[in-house]
Structure 1
Amino acid sequence: MTPVVIVGDRIRTRDEEVERGARLAAAMHAAGVGAGDAVALLLRNDFAVLEANLAVRRLDAYGVPVNWHWHADEIGYVLRDCAPRLLIGHHDLLEAIEDRIPAGLTVVAIGGDPSRGWIDYDDWIASHESHSGAGTGLGSSMVYTSGTTGRPKAVRRLPASGEESAQRARVLAAIHDSAPGNVALVTGPLYHLFGQALMTATFGAGGSVVIMERFDPEACLALIERHRITHSALVPTLFVRLLRLPDAVKARYDLSSLRHVVHSGAPCAPEVKRAMLGWWGPVLHETYGSTETGVVTKIGPAEWLERPGSVGRPVLTGEVRIRGEDGDWAPAGTVGDVYLRIHGTPDFTFHGDPAKRAAVEYDGLITCGDIGWLDEEGYLFLCDRRVDMVISGGVNIYPAEIEAALLEHQAIGDCAVFGVPDAEYGETPVAFVEPVGAIDAGAVRAFLRGRLAGYKVPRHIVVTDRLPREETGKIMKRKLREQFLATEQVDG
């Protein structure tokens, strides 16, 4: 089968995409883009995301994917902060933030009218011959992630040596089981590295890529059957949406082509994972890492069933260690701060904040703010994030443990637990629950008392129709905390 890239009803061969990427590189070079320059990408899921990635690698430039769901002020901040040489975007997305685009920035638009003086993307590509340069390998990136407070922070991947690029490619291949002949389905937004990694790993290995323009659960099943999808990557919230389909709809589609599906980005409730394994078969592989470190651990379906809750062991040159409260490396079974790294791959920094970069490193490893422990065989189990941990009356309470207990309730579809100030105990946990059936706070509290120590049961339980989420499926606890504190909404 000739490798192809498919977006909606449009299809291009791999050779066509390589050629368009090379022409785009030539156009970028003519516009002054060189090694170390940033190119901002305000793009929906489209061929242009792949083409831009191919182009910046040829020039050893930085691709800066921008979350187009962000507020215009946030996008404007990113465009000022990364100081791009060029901005490429879909015309309507550019129109929505037009007054935030820095003066003098060259803008290339996909679609729309040319009245604003923006360069037409397709005409621009067609007007240039292929760039002859190949770059040094995987190239670099600058990815902005939303923090719990303040402006988005930029994780900048440093220029890589040839061996570092090769090692990074080997890691991606191990994570996504990349090989010629694979047919991968990209389900999430390509401004996020989770989807981009699957796309670039599959394309680079000579496989075919099917890109969903937006996720729809039944459309996902239809694409798996139609294109005989072998590989994919999904965040757990998409599992939940898939599982909510009627049984008749689930049974309508042939999913037997699936061989390897990665999930990451947020915790997956054990009952959700078991339900997906029962439906899709032993194809689910969980990974753990971050924008800063890249993916470091992986666990297959059989391993997970033996060790439910684990996010796996390090792949290839990966290393994971736990740092205890005394500041030293801790033995197996001890809860502490998780430090990890894939050795031999490109390093990173926080753009404009080297002090913050130094603060997250210890003994050559990086912490992402998670708390966890290792078993005797080196499998990692996560407890929670350091920033989410609640210290109530001097006792550590991990919201993730409470959330896992809440999700055992059949009438709770999802939940979020976090701490708020408390005059007596310093902090106290609050739970927001999203129901899928009839439920009340008193019943939830009684349910938890049968599963948790009394001090872990939230004093305040709020039932809400919808929990706010990022595109990756992560619940935005910061917004819930702000809402709770602003309204003092409590349940007696």
Structure 2
Amino acid sequence: MALAIYARDTPDRVAVDSRFGQRTFGELNARANQLVRAWRRAGIRSGDSVALLMGNRPEFVEVYKASLRSGVRLTPINWHLSGEEVAYIVENCEAKVFLTERRYREAAAFAREAIGEGLVAVMVDGADEPGFIDYDEFVGVQDASDIDDPEFGRYMLYTSGTTGRPKGVWRRDRQPMLPAWETGAAPMEPLGDCTLLTGPAYHAAPLMSVVRSLVSGVPVVMMDKWDPEETLALIQQHGVTHTHMVATMFHRMLQLPAEVREKYDVSSLRNVNHGAAPCPVHVKQAIIEWFGPVVNEYYAATEGGGGFTVTSQEWLKKPGTVGKPPAGYDNRILDEEGNELGPNEVGTIYMKSTGDKFEYYKDPDKTASSWRGDFFTLGDMGYFDEDGYLFLTGRTAEVIISGGVNIYPQEVDNEVMKHPAVHEVCTIGVPNDEWGEEVRTVV
């Protein structure tokens, strides 16, 4: 366990910094050990499920680190969800422990009451919250020494549920802790480097940026809520070297007045990973011009495949691409009949899983519909160019068919986003008696 080594060698060095407080490597390791023992005392065993409804704060990292050494299956939950949706995930993942914090108490209380007896419910600052155990009381009385018999834990993240309920992505193999998008990324140095967490840690990519940093002995600064100017201020204040962002963040930072952007020194940045959604070409060109050639894009799946990466230098030669996969990743573009398509032909992107086949937890129909043999799809569409670089065009469910012609909303969005007055955009198809569908863009 890397954390235990850093805790032994540099116990007083800060590991996590946030508006909710700090944890040194020694403190983080000790709290993770205490939490493992608290779970065991509550009857939680290897293979049991733990659900987590919590923002970006040190306790989130404590829970994650405890899960990795206790053999439990951890499910972080999107805190934007309603109480009913939270309850569904807590029940669906079969959680025996549910950890949360006070600001989400309404949704958390709904979930706890819906699940009923048998659920151990724990809340940060929850001493006077009916039905919840206070986190510090639950954890603090336990022995903080290293665990003698650690067991490798796993996580099960839930998809956003664009169709129906959110679905847990479960892989029975030991999921790799470091994702493919780190290929070609700037190496991390424990002394001097710093990672800025910009997005919610319940998402796979932000979570993995935290994991990679702490495994490397690099401290993490956690933003509670994202703000464009605060991001620049934190980069300058902490000398941030590594971070993860999405295209919307780039766009909003670029919309800051020039005098605001010029106030902050971002020259410490060595690696800005970005993905999760396509980035308009003009936005990425502008952010590379500002940050320098440190922007590395990826396209991968929570389900365990894809692995596409592209550096700034490569991308500038092929604007719009999400890159190539490293050796060992197998990806294909197929038509509706399952035939493999050639260069520059748009079809559905299929990926070969990097480990055991994943399943959507307790949803065999959804699982079966995602696979063609050994390959699965997220429903994304795109094409390979003649050099094997992937370009995304949209999603299967979003394609607009007007007059028999396929129109890809993402391409329309990219053009509209070029206008300086546009903040966000979404292109949809609406019924039309003559054309079948017509294009409408919401700005």
Query: Is the structural similarity TM-score above 0.5?
Result: yes
Q: Is the counterpart of residue 158 in structure 1 residue 158 in structure 2?
A: no
* Cα contact 1:3–1:206 (8 A) shared by 2: no
Partners of 2:198 and 2:384 in 1: CA distance: 31
Partners of 2:93 and 2:425 in 1: CA distance: 35
Q: Tell me which of 272, 277, 284 is aligned to 1:273.
A: 284
* Cα contact 1:87–1:106 (8 A) shared by 2: yes
* Cα contact 1:217–1:238 (8 A) shared by 2: yes
* Cα contact 1:296–1:342 (8 A) shared by 2: no
Q: Is the counterpart of residue 110 in structure 1 residue 119 in structure 2?
A: no
RMSD after superposition? 2.0
Partners of 1:390 and 1:170 in 2: CA distance: 33
* Cα contact 1:178–1:202 (8 A) shared by 2: no
Pair 1:169–1:135, CA change in 2 (3 A): farther
* Cα contact 1:176–1:201 (8 A) shared by 2: no
Partner residue, 1:47: 58
* Cα contact 1:32–1:85 (8 A) shared by 2: no
Pair 1:146–1:308, CA change in 2 (3 A): same
Identical residues among aligned pairs (%): 36
Q: Which amino acid aligns with 1:432?
A: V
What does 1:89-104 align with in structure 2 at a 5 Å threshold?
Answer: 89-101=100-112, 102-104=115-117
The C-alpha deviation readout for 1:208-227, integer Å capped at 9, x for no partner, is 11111111211111111111
Q: Which amino acid aligns with 1:133?
A: D
Q: Is the counterpart of residue 374 in structure 1 residue 374 in structure 2?
A: no
* Cα contact 1:322–1:330 (8 A) shared by 2: yes
Partners of 2:201 and 2:326 in 1: CA distance: 24
Partner residue, 2:405: 395
Partner residue, 1:489: none
The C-alpha deviation readout for 1:344-403, integer Å capped at 9, x for no partner, is x45421011123222212242221101111122211011110000011222211111111
Three-state SS of the structure 2 residue aligned to 1:169 is coil
Q: Is the counterpart of residue 411 in structure 1 residue 421 in structure 2?
A: yes
Partners of 2:202 and 2:371 in 1: CA distance: 26
Partners of 1:416 and 1:401 in 2: CA distance: 11
Q: Is the counterpart of residue 60 in structure 1 residue 49 in structure 2?
A: no
Q: Which amino acid aligns with 1:114?
A: D
Partners of 2:160 and 2:66 in 1: CA distance: 26
Partner residue, 2:324: 313
* Cα contact 1:371–1:386 (8 A) shared by 2: yes
Instruction: Tell me the number of residue pairs that the alignment of Structure 1 and Structure 2 aligns.
Output: 425
User: Displaced runs of 4+ in structure 1, greater than 4 A?
Assistant: 175-178
Q: Which amino acid aligns with 2:379?
A: G
Partner residue, 1:471: none
Pair 1:73–1:170, CA change in 2 (3 A): closer
Residue 342 of structure 1: how far off its partner (Å): 5.1
Pair 1:124–1:9, CA change in 2 (3 A): closer
Pair 1:42–1:9, CA change in 2 (3 A): closer
Q: Which amino acid aligns with 2:338?
A: G
TM-score scaled to structure 2, two decimals? 0.90
What does 1:299-448 align with in structure 2 at a 5 Å threshold?
Answer: 299-341=310-352, 343=354, 345=355, 347-433=357-443
* Cα contact 2:299–2:322 (8 A) shared by 1: yes
Partners of 1:178 and 1:387 in 2: CA distance: 38
Partner residue, 1:283: 294
Q: Which amino acid aligns with 2:424?
A: D
Partner residue, 1:445: none
Partners of 1:178 and 1:350 in 2: CA distance: 34
Pair 1:328–1:124, CA change in 2 (3 A): same
Pair 1:117–1:411, CA change in 2 (3 A): closer
Partner residue, 2:149: 133
Partners of 1:429 and 1:134 in 2: CA distance: 55
Q: Tell me which of 7, 13, 16 is aligned to 2:24.
A: 13
* Cα contact 2:86–2:107 (8 A) shared by 1: no
Q: Is the counterpart of residue 250 in structure 1 residue 300 in structure 2?
A: no
Partners of 1:175 and 1:92 in 2: CA distance: 39
Deviates more, 1:370-379 or 1:334-343: 334-343
Residue 173 of structure 1: how far off its partner (Å): 4.5
Q: Tell me which of 167, 180, 187 is aligned to 2:189.
A: 180
Partners of 1:426 and 1:390 in 2: CA distance: 9
* Cα contact 1:145–1:154 (8 A) shared by 2: yes
Query: Where does structure 1 lack aligned partners over 5 or more consecutive residues?
Result: 434-492
Pair 1:178–1:14, CA change in 2 (3 A): farther
Q: Which amino acid aligns with 1:324?
A: D
Pair 1:89–1:215, CA change in 2 (3 A): same
Partners of 2:70 and 2:126 in 1: CA distance: 28
Pair 1:22–1:232, CA change in 2 (3 A): same
Partners of 1:251 and 1:264 in 2: CA distance: 25
Q: Which amino acid aligns with 2:402?
A: S
